[in-house]
Amino acid sequence: MQNVSPITAGHAVLETVIGFMGIAWSEKGLTRLCLPERSPEAVERRLFRHAGVSNATEQPKWVVELIASIKAYAAGEDVDFSGVPVDLDGVDDFRLAIYDAARKLSFGETTTYGELAKRAGHSGLARETGAALGANPVPLVIPCHRILAAGGKIGGFSAPGGSATKEKMLAMEGVRVGPPPAAQASFGF
């Protein structure tokens, strides 16, 4: 008789200094990450809109570590999520290439949709890259907030709060988006 491993899928809602966030995982890795909402109920609703999210709440060691890392990130710490296992079953090759290229961006590093497409081996597909990132199931771990529109403009963001949330996340990483401050303000007079 074959040993059956315990079910290792589950979900968690966590409170951070920037709001309630949620994660879901399978035996292969992270399957969902919900960016901040005002209530734990809103996060639960968002998580359970997706098929395959387990009711289980028992956390494997890597999930405990991920939760601590998310809380540290929300508190303004430089966190590297590149080692987090991600379960992207069912995701097409184009999106996998885009997500892989995005995961190589470090804390506070940005690029444009066009440049990310090029890095992923899909030059000229900036719009398609934006659409792929809009479907990203695990924002923050696949840091789609670090991808900007041409000319350094903020671009779109499909998470709650839209572009304002993207701009806040970038600001937490020390990235300022938009026009520079007026010359007088930059010199303090």
Burial readout 61-83 (b: 16 or more C-beta within 10 A, e: otherwise): eebeebbebbbebbeeeebebee
Backbone angles phi, psi at 22, to 5 degrees: -140, 150
Residues 6+ apart with CB under 8 A from 174: 108
Distance linking the first and last C-alpha atoms of the chain: 78
Provide the residue type at 19 as one letter: G
Query: Which of 33, 70, 144, 169 is labelled catalytic?
Result: 144
Q: Which residue has the tokens 């597909």?
A: 125
Long-range contacts of 17-22 (CB under 8 A, 24+ apart): 17/71, 17/74, 17/75, 18/74, 18/168, 21/70, 21/74, 22/46, 22/47
The three-class DSSP label of residue 148 is strand
144 is catalytic: yes
Active-site residue set: 144
